[in-house]
Structure 1
């Protein structure tokens, strides 16, 4: 016995999506990017490198 005449369909909302988030101060704003793949948004954010301590050798002259 078939299910003739029955139409089943799943739907999802479409349209504009807006989401806002505060980012830390150590983010490179020019390197923020976003992609959308199969309906899944991915946002990539690069952080600036923190300065590493340097050792300076002091010599006596």
Structure 2
């Protein structure tokens, strides 16, 4: 189970990186309102990913 949790944590970390890339790409949009919407969505997704990563860390610590 621990190796599966590590894999899940790694995938979430990759997803967090994608959120950062979306945030940065949105900054290049010409329309400030469009940019703001995409950046906010990326931030919300990143928050949810970090919450899931925190839960996984808690579970892994409980197994040790």
TM bracket, shorter-chain basis = under 0.3
Q: Relative contact order, CA 8 A, sep 6+: which one is greater? A: 2
**Which structure has greater strand proportion?**
1
Structure number with bigger Rg: 1
Query: What TM-score, normalized by structure 1, do the two folds share?
Result: 0.23
